Amino acid sequence: MNINFVQNFIFWLQQRIAINLLFVFAYFLFILFMHNPLVRLSVWVEGILSLPVYNIVIAVVFLVLISVTVFLLQKKLREETQDRNLKLIYLFLTITAIIIHSRFMFDSNIEIIHSFEYIFLVFLIFPITRRFGAAILFTLPFMLFDEWFQAHVLYPFLDYFDLNDIMMDTYGCGLALTVLMILGVKGASNVQPLWKRPEFILLISLVLLVLVAVKLCFIAPYANDACSNTLLVMNNRIVPEPFFRFHPTHNLWYHVMKPAEAFILIPLLHIFYMGLDSFRKT
């Protein structure tokens, strides 16, 4: 991988904040408005190949891409002397999480495209923040709006806010920044302890804000929790989801993340990736 090109491009964006922001929002609009055409294309390909074959093709493509990435990183990892094992752990855990997530929380393997979409978005946000954890946190509003747009504009017949996708989006961000870190891309200097960082304080504040919104019934986890002032229902089912939901057309069982699970796991995942700044290359 040409690390000099990557570093130079990040530096170029950092010096041109207006252009950087333009790229961020232009790419996000691409994510929003290309979703439906890509879904139609995916359904068309699935109809030609059949779902089992299509799932195998997607799995093979993903494994090939991951294998190529690891192969290209191996020389850099062999040369690495600082925190090599920790960087390998982040890479291994992220890839493992994506595989486990795809095994139990997908109704089709094409859902993995979410991680690839946000690989590019977090790459564009990183020059603005110059911190790995902050870059991932700042993609969270885009993820949430993306899922709201899908659930209320593109596909209003869906009965739940897809928190599974937000987890997959975050894995994609983590994978991208882990690769950048291994390649030697430097974050901001003089990074404070985790609990003093603005992104950590912002994350905890957002969690508390969501909990207050649930308590005041502005956000309802399920339809039967809704009140007259409810602005967002996370899941339109009257009763909580069973652990596995059956997909009638794909003939499989998969896990739909419950709001309570997401309120815990998504912040923990962001805190995990904030750790990337703790052993950056100096």
Element (H, E) at 237: none
Q: What is the pLDDT of residue 189?
A: 72
- The residues spanned by each domain of the chain are 3-279
What pLDDT does 1 receive? 54
Per-residue pLDDT tens for 83-101? Answer: 788 888 999 999 999 999 9
pLDDT of the residue at 282: 41
pLDDT given at position 165? 93
pLDDT value of position 281: 44
- Strand pairing class (252-254; 245-247): antiparallel
Distance between CA atoms of residues 265 and 259, nearest Å: 10
Length of the chain: 282
Residue 75 pLDDT:
79
pTM for the structure as a whole: 0.92
Token pair belonging to 48? 């030609």
- d(CA 54, CA 233) in angstroms, rounded, equals 33
Q: Where are the alpha helices (DSSP H) in the chain?
A: 3-14, 17-49, 51-79, 84-104, 113-129, 132-137, 140-149, 163-183, 198-215, 259-274
Q: What is the pLDDT of residue 140?
A: 95
pLDDT along the chain (282 residues), means of 10: 76 92 96 92 92 94 92 81 82 94 90 92 93 94 93 83 92 94 80 87 95 94 91 83 85 89 94 84 42
Work out the number of other CB atoms within 10 angstroms of the CB of residue 69: 16
Write the pLDDT tens digit of every residue in 43-94: 999 999 999 999 999 999 999 999 998 888 887 778 766 778 888 899 999 9
pLDDT at 81: 65
